[in-house]
Structure 1
Amino acid sequence: MNAPEHKTLHGAAQQARIDVPIPSQGDERLWGSDVMAAAVRNTGIEYVALNPGASFRGLHDSLVNHNGNRDPQMLLCLHEGTAVSIAHGYAKVANRPMGVVLHSNVGLMQGTMGIFNAWCDRVPMLVMGATGPIDADKRRPWIDWIHTTTDQGALVRQYTKWDDQPASVPAAVEALSRARQITDTAPKGPVYVSLDAGLQEARVAQMPAMPELQRYMPSAPPAPNAEALSRAVALLSSARKIVMLVGRVSRDTADWARRVDLAHALDARVVTDFKLGAGFPTDHPRHVAPPAAFSPSAVSAALCDAEVILSLDWLDLAGTFKQAFGGHAPRARVIHASLDQQLHGGWNMEYFGLAPVDVHMACDADTLVAALASALGARQAPPCEPAGLPELATDQVSIRAIAGALNEHTQGQDICVVRLPLGWNGSYRHFKHPLDYLGGDGGAGIGSGPGMCVGAALALRGSGRLPIGIVGDGDFMMGVTAVWTACHYRIPVLLIVSNNRSFFNDEMHQERVARERGRPVENRWIGQAISQPDIDIAAIARAQGAHALGPIIDVRDLNQAMAEGLAVVRAGQVCVIDVRVLPGYDTNLSGEVTRSASAPAEAA
């Protein structure tokens, strides 16, 4: 079974005993929101995450009493940002959209950061909202006025693929069908449909026939242009030194295998990105360097030595070239496959710099890989010895120690690392399957980690693969209420909080500014340290219903906690481990961790 295919086989059955409504009997009247709820079901959306709001009280009633709270099942969240991040994590595993419902303008504004993350990460998501009543005569005094926006979609229009505010019930059915098609069409991204509260609560005479979903599905990704493909094959066939940049690619195991086969056929060196999910086995001898957020020197050296660079929807190709070549264009010929340019606008710069490309193909990366593999022919992989891992033993409680304990206690087990902190070194753990690591959140904000871990765990439930997220303390505290949702809906997940009691990345920025200005670097912790008092993260997790361990301040306790936490998750529960790590980034794998020695003892 390919990686994304298991995602819906078990969730609904396991959720059936949770939040089951009493069957509605007697009243045969139909309402606009009943039709809308039926239309959402018709799109194939299995779950909708929401924080309740009066603007969609009609839809809420219909999801419960007309649909029976199944297909889709509602997931109650304690914050709109959590609802969006859960849908984001789900899509990264399931490769299909989940639903989100946000309350009028205020709920949408709460969810905007998560929508921006999903946009930057190019994942599908059906976001529904509500406004109104648009008819001013039907508005209640005060509350309906401040919660009504004439063009609500404008709040997210610059970072959604499409939005609509249908003006009739039949138009709402079409809008939801169109939204499902657009969000799932490559390049993928979130869409937004605002449902007028007045339409939701209007009587309708009868339930209309729902569109036949199979007739409104997204098209297959476009194939590479034949002439461009021929040029690419010619370049690759004549080159001796090829580098493959594996960027935004699918989690399908067949696509993964084709990428490996293509690397063998080309005798190419391969690079992956820490900001993206696993796209190629990191223990493969052709893998140049551990995945990193910024290109290591070994990657720059490989690019400088290359004759041909094959970019498979690489994230920030121009930025990577700038690191490798300075201000000069690469001497190598560049082949680039991406559909991302179809989403580029002028509001945000997530399209990055304009890279020099010799053969540019507007196609999906894995579609190109399949075409190249067919054109070049198969080549038997030479025998090779997978790369090993560094010695991670340490007597300090650090991110390195977390990695060592995780590796020791998950050896031979299928796990999914949903999130990793900035201080993680790519050498700590190898990724050998497309679900071994899911990457970042796209927008590089803070607060999405816990929700994304819960959403990924929802999509993984029943697969046998344990979902594990290692998140920072700031990220955890901003998104902690996702833990309650996981507990309530019995979504097993392990969250390890790498707790350095600081917004440490910003400490490093403050140190840099202080050095440039000749000011005391010892002050870098002020306004950054999360201490005096320390936050009892384990207590907060227990308050959400989770099994919680910590604070862990000794390496021996870390190993015991890791074993216990994994056992708890295998038993179907939620576990949070608070690990008090030394601040610092282990960049040289020397065994030492850079310590925030400038901070007072309470902050360090």
Structure 2
Amino acid sequence: MKTVPMTEAGETVLNAPREPADLERPLPSPSAGEWGSDIAADMLRALDIPFVALNPGASFRGLHDSLVNHLGNEKPQMLLCLHEEHAIAIAHGWAKVTEQPMAAIVHSNVGLMHATMAVFNAWCDRVPMVIVGATGPVDAAKRRPWIDWIHTARDQGALLRPYTKWDDQPASVEAAVESFLRAHQMANSYPKGPTYICLDAGLQEMKLGERPAIPDPQRYRPGPPTVPSPEVIGQIAGHLLRAKRPIILAGRVSRKEKAWAERIRLAEALDAVVLTDLKAPAAFPTSHRLHGAPAGTFLNPDAAALLREADVVLSLDWIDLAGTLKAAWGQDTVSATVVHISGDQYVHNGWSMDHQGLPPADILALAEPDPTVSLVLPAVERSGARPASAWPARPAPTAPPVLTAHASDEPLSVPTLAAALAEAVDAEEVCLIRGPLSWAGKLWTIEHPLDYLGIDGGAGLGSGPGMAIGAALALKGTGRLPIAVFGDGDFMMGSSAIWTAVHYRIPVLIVVANNTSFFNDELHQERMARQRGRVVDNKWIGQRMADPDIDLGMVARAQGAVGIGPVTDLAELRESLAQAIAALKEGRTVVLDVRVLPGYDPGTTKAMAQVSSE
């Protein structure tokens, strides 16, 4: 174990290099029998859960003790968070990189209510995690006056049942063993998502007479990938081989390099245009000649024009296929043959509308996109009997903007920020964890499945810092620089997550594209004013974060991070980025406040206006 320098008071020296595993090492604790919560802790270890993010609470004091004194706070190790939303968001960021679940623990009904927005994000983003909660004691005779009563709910899982895959409240330690096995299996089964186990405080604190057997978790793994039948694979290949202008919509696909390479091979074999989505992680190289148009949060006009020209559309679990087709064809009938590869409807329900509209599909394969491509690819490559592509010659994909001399005389914008960031990282391998709504696909080159991780799923605010930290934790040891860019509203709602990153020495660079406004809502207020013939210049009221100005660098420094800014011109931005990246490489948590002009890319603005007018 690495030596951690200490002060005379026994406190850890903040700037000493260390890993999360070096921290919070408990003193050896003698065994004095086993308790119900020990079995829950053993299950987390048996399921190979590496970390468990939490904000402490009395409802799971038994499990907390078991993690510390029974397991020694390792495998899993606790990550202390200052808010339950951060705990869930950290697990979310971890899963976006690894595609495997972390665990998070939330306290009783009140902690669960804090966590629900972040759980909804994970649900909409289809990422796996195992959430452990607690209640009770269920036995009213064992409740402490007042506090245990207000922290006990008859059906706590009802708070998040519409946006989790499964929940349970086991009534015995034997049942808890099965609950953990099932929760982990279901979280990891496609379509992936969060699961929830509520542990009765009385069950946790019950002394065991006999230890229940813990089965081999390998016998409770998720099933093999779902794929279409050979007949359907043949039909899909046939449509693609006959197509003259095929398009591939590369949506929710995996981080696996093999699957990435197979998507490229399939596109090249078909001479198919490929479109990608900023809401989803990297799915196709943006510099490839077949990447049709820059990705957007909404379908931009160039992408819509390409899609309308297609005769076959292959959708690989595309987010909102119905809305995307409508953006291209409007009220007209979709003229292309649509092949939709997605099992997402397995988790659709009547509470949440995250399933989007119902798309037309000439072939609907309720299957996983990556293994389906693995089966379609050889059928396409073997044939070679496809018509010549009717796609007109297209220019090479547009390279991201570079800084020009006149940029130094202009106020900073998001494109300038993106160009300066690209210049600063140069040839480094970077994972862009996310970008703000003002980010455009043309601002960043993607060449690898870990180059970009998409957004948060639920389109709320406050998830950015926690997700950045979770992703950065998962990226440790990969050689990639973890960098996240998001807005000032997102940062301020989740800013206390920074403490967790500093405490556990999780290196990450958070760049705040700070326009001092909830600007998306300024646009909505402008639209309302224009529709109603009212004063447009009032749109800023109730939106601007000014008077007083918020010192974001000080917010970061107060928690032990490197805080830089506010940065207002290009020369200062270049210098600050160099400082920030040097600190990141030293293993520091860094927050860089960059003041940018409000506004969106013209293509994004046009797409948003189209959506708002419908």
Report the 3-state secondary structure (helix = DSSP H, G, I; strand = E; otherwise coil) of the residue aligned with 2:22.
coil
State the 1:222 CA deviation.
Answer: 1.1
> 1:22, 1:249 → 2: CA distance?
44
Matched to 2:399, the amino acid is G
What corresponds to 2:139 in structure 1? 135
Verify: 1:217 aligned to 2:228, yes or no. no
Verify the 8 A CA contact 1:284 1:387 in the aligned structure 2.
no
Structure-2 separation of matches of 1:100 and 1:69: 14
Deviations for 1:540-592, whole angstroms, at most 9, x for unmatched residues? 100111011101112110001111101101111111001111111132699xx
Aligned partner of 1:174 in structure 2 is 178
- Show the counterpart of 2:552: 537
Kept in 1, the 8 Å contact 2:137–2:148? The answer is yes
Among candidates 472, 481, 499, match of residue 457 of structure 1: 472
1:14 equivalent in structure 2: 19
User: What is the match of residue 336 of structure 2?
Assistant: 332
Share of identical aligned residues, percent? 54
User: What are the ranges of 5 or more consecutive residues in structure 1 without an aligned counterpart?
Assistant: 1-12, 591-604
Deviation at residue 385 of structure 1 after TM alignment: 6.3
Q: How far apart in 1 are the matches of 2:98 and 2:604?
A: 34
Counterparts of residues 484-495 of structure 1 (less than 5 Å): 484-495=499-510
- Matched with 1:557 is 572
- Aligned partner letter, 2:422: N
1:427 match: secondary structure:
helix
Is 63-72 or 231-240 further displaced after alignment?
A: 231-240
Give the whole-Å Cα distance in 1 for the aligned partners of 2:397 and 2:414.
Answer: 24
Aligned to 1:24: 29
Q: Give the stretch that moved more between structures: 69-78 or 27-36.
A: 27-36
In structure 1, what is the equivalent of residue 14 of structure 2?
Answer: none
Question: Retained in 1: the 8 A contact 2:135–2:152?
Answer: yes
Q: Which one-letter code corresponds to 1:186 in the other structure?
A: Y
User: How far apart are the structure 1 equivalents of 2:603 and 2:94?
Assistant: 34
Offset of 1:337 from its aligned partner? 0.3
Q: How far apart, CA to CA, are the structure 2 residues paired with 1:96 and 1:479? A: 23
Of residues 136-145 and 36-45 in structure 1, the stretch that sits farther from structure 2 once superposed is 36-45
Q: CA deviation at 1:328?
A: 2.2
CA–CA separation in structure 2 for the residues paired with 1:562 and 1:303: 38
Structure 2 equivalent of residue 357 of structure 1: 361
- Give how far 1:16 is off: 2.1
Q: Distance in 2 between matches of 1:101 and 1:338?
A: 31
- TM-score of the two chains, using structure 2 as the length reference: 0.92
Deviation digits for residues 50-84 of structure 1, max 9, x if unmatched? 00000000000000000000000000000000000
Contact 1:421/1:498 (8 A) holds in 2: yes
* Other-structure match for 1:261: 265
Partners of 2:432 and 2:483 within 8 A in 1: yes
Report Cα offsets for 1:508-537 as digits up to 9, x if no partner. 000000010011111000000000000011
Alignment partner of 1:403 out of 404, 418, 430: 418
Select 1:44's aligned residue among 48, 62, 71.
48
Q: 430, 447, 469: which is aligned to 2:445?
A: 430
Of 506, 517, 523, the match for 2:521: 506
The alpha carbon displacement at 1:207 in A equals 3.0
> Aligned to 1:363, what secondary structure does the other structure show?
coil
Alpha carbons of structure 1 residues 588 and 132: separation in structure 2 relative to 1, 3 Å: closer
Quick one: structure 1 residues 16 and 588, their matched pair in 2 at CA, closer, same or farther if it must change by over 3 Å?
closer
Aligned to 1:283: 287
CA distance in 1 between counterparts of 2:258 and 2:570 reads 40
- 1:163 counterpart residue number: 167
Matches within 5 A, 1:33-182: 33-182=37-186
Tell me, which stretches of 5 or more residues in structure 2 are unaligned?
Answer: 1-17, 385-392, 606-614
Aligned to 1:195: 199
Map residues 522-533 of structure 1 onto 2, 5 A cutoff: 522-533=537-548
What's 2:249 paired with?
245
| Aligned equivalent of 1:597 | none
Q: Offset at 1:424?
A: 1.1
Distance 1:589 1:149 in 2: 45
Q: Match of 1:601?
A: none
| C-alpha spacing 1:176/1:588, structure 2 compared with 1 (3 Å) | closer
Does the 8 Å CA contact 1:329/1:356 hold for their aligned counterparts? no
Alignment of 1:233 onto 2:237: yes
Q: Structure 1 589/195 Cα, relative in aligned 2: closer, same or farther at 3 Å?
A: closer
Alignment partners' CA distance in 2, 1:456 and 1:589: 26
Q: Does 1:273 align with 2:277?
A: yes
Q: 1:277 to 1:454 in 2, by over 3 A?
A: same
Query: Contact 2:512 / 2:594 at 8 angstroms: preserved in 1?
Result: yes
Give the conservation status (yes or no) of the 8 Å contact 1:274–1:426. Answer: yes
The amino acid across from 1:244 in the alignment is: I
**CA deviation profile, 1:155-196 (whole Å, cap 9, x unmatched):** 000000000000001111110111010100000000000000
**1:336–1:360 CA contact under 8 A, matched in 2:** yes
Among 300, 307, 328, the alignment partner of 2:304 is 300
Amino acid at match of 2:468: C
Aligned partners of 1:85 and 1:102: how far apart in 2? Answer: 12
CA–CA distance in structure 1, aligned partners of residues 490 and 282 of structure 2: 22
**What is the DSSP-based 3-state SS (H/G/I as helix, E as strand, rest coil) of the residue aligned with 2:340?**
strand
* In 1: Cα distance, 2:234 partner to 2:481 partner: 43
Aligned counterparts of 2:329 and 2:201: Cα–Cα separation in 1: 55
Alpha-carbon deviation of 1:387?
4.5
Among 395, 400, 408, which residue is 1:389 paired with?
A: 400
Residue 594 (structure 2) pairs with residue 579 (structure 1): yes
**SS at 1:203 equivalent:** coil
In 2, distance between residues paired with 1:361 and 1:539? 52
TM-superposed deviation, 1:29: 1.6
Letter in 1 for 2:548: P
Deviations 1:322-342 (A, max 9, x none): 111112221111111001010
Letter in 1 for 2:28: P
Indicate conservation of the 8 Å contact 1:392/1:428, yes or no.
no
Pairwise CA distance, 1:254: 0.6
Q: What's the secondary structure of 1:126's corresponding residue? A: strand
Residue 341 of structure 1 aligns to a residue whose secondary structure is helix
Write the letter of the residue equivalent to 2:75: D
Aligned to 1:417, which of 432, 447, 467? 432
Q: Deviations over 1:67-104 (max 9, x none)?
A: 00000000000000000000000000011000000000
Supply the AA of the counterpart residue of 1:313. D
Question: 1:136: Cα distance to partner?
Answer: 0.3
Which SS does the other structure have where 2:278 is aligned? Answer: coil
Match of 2:375 in 1: 371
Q: 2:592 is paired with a residue of what secondary structure?
A: strand
- Secondary structure at 2:563's aligned position in 1? strand
Contact 2:292 2:397 in 1 (8 A): no
Q: Deviations over 1:117-140 (max 9, x none)?
A: 000000001000000000000000
Tell me the CA shift for residue 391 of structure 1. 3.7
Partner SS for 1:59? helix
2:465 partner SS: helix
Secondary structure of residue in 2 paired with 1:109: helix
Is the 8 Å Cα contact of residues 399 and 442 (structure 2) preserved in structure 1?
no
Matched, 1:319 2:318: no
From the superposition, tell whether residues 486 and 371 of structure 1 become closer, same or farther in structure 2 (CA, over 3 Å).
same
Residue number in structure 2 paired with 1:9: none
Contact 2:297 2:604 in 1 (8 A): no
Deviation at 1:147, TM superposition (A): 0.3
Could you tell me how far 1:275 is from its partner in structure 2? 0.7
Helix, strand or coil for the counterpart of 1:264? Answer: helix
What count of residue pairs does the alignment treat as equivalent? 575
How far residue 379 of structure 1 moved from its aligned partner, in angstroms, is 9.8
Change over 3 Å in CA distance of 1:514–1:401 after alignment to 2: same
Using the TM superposition, give the Cα deviation of residue 40 of structure 1 relative to its aligned residue in structure 2, in angstroms: 1.2
Equivalent pair of 2:59/2:136 in contact (CA under 8 Å) = yes
Q: Cα deviation per residue 1:355-380 (whole Å; 9 max; x = unaligned)? A: 11001111101111111112112799
Give the letter for the 2:112 counterpart.
Answer: L
Q: Report the RMSD for the aligned CA atoms in angstroms.
A: 1.6
